Amino acid sequence: MASKRNLWNKAGRIVTGVVVLCFFLPFFGVSCNGMEIVTVSGADMVGGCKPGGMISEMEAQEGMGSVEVHDVDREPWAIVAMGLALVGFGVAWLRSRPALFGSFVLAIAALAAMIALYVEAKGDLDEGLKSAGGGEMSRSIEKDVEIDAGSRWGFWLTCLGFVGIAVLAGRALGEKDPPPPA
């Protein structure tokens, strides 16, 4: 039977690295009738970059009118979560019990930051849609158009990765240290 500690030593580095890469996937977005109008990755939220999606492509094309896409606001919770993910990736390379405990604590803290990011970003999206939609014409359009604003699969994959790190590290912490060689 394989040791849970050995499993962490082998898989912990890979899982934490994948979680860091997940920050480059779509975290939040706005779609209209299934077409992604705006997508924002975790890295966009950390760096204050331009969002992706159809509206960014329209801005890049000439002759599309006056479409202007602004940079995404930097989100403190995204910065905290990505920072914790990067530190967790570094700690996963250490093979000591305190490093294992550190990985566990960092994953829980990062998951809490992701929850705070979700609450803040979802509120901003809902508020933005309410302020953008107003007037009689927009209400009649809303009846015919399905608008979806919220989290995307990259956000949930990142959260799942943090849960996986916490579970793997927690299980490895529960295992007693092997006795020193005689």
Average pLDDT over residues 2-28: 91
pTM: 0.83
Alpha helices in 36-181 (DSSP H): 42-47, 54-60, 76-91, 97-132, 136-144, 153-174
Average pLDDT over residues 111-129: 89
Domain positions in the chain are: 13-26+75-174
Torsion of CA 140, 141, 144, 145, to 10 degrees: -150
Residue 128 CB coordination number (10 Å): 13
- Which pLDDT tens digit goes with each residue over 137-156? 445 455 566 777 788 899 99
- Which pLDDT tens digit goes with each residue over 65-92? 566 778 888 999 999 999 999 999 999 9
Output phi, psi for 73, to 5 deg.
-65, 145
Residue 134 clears pLDDT 60, i.e. is over it: no
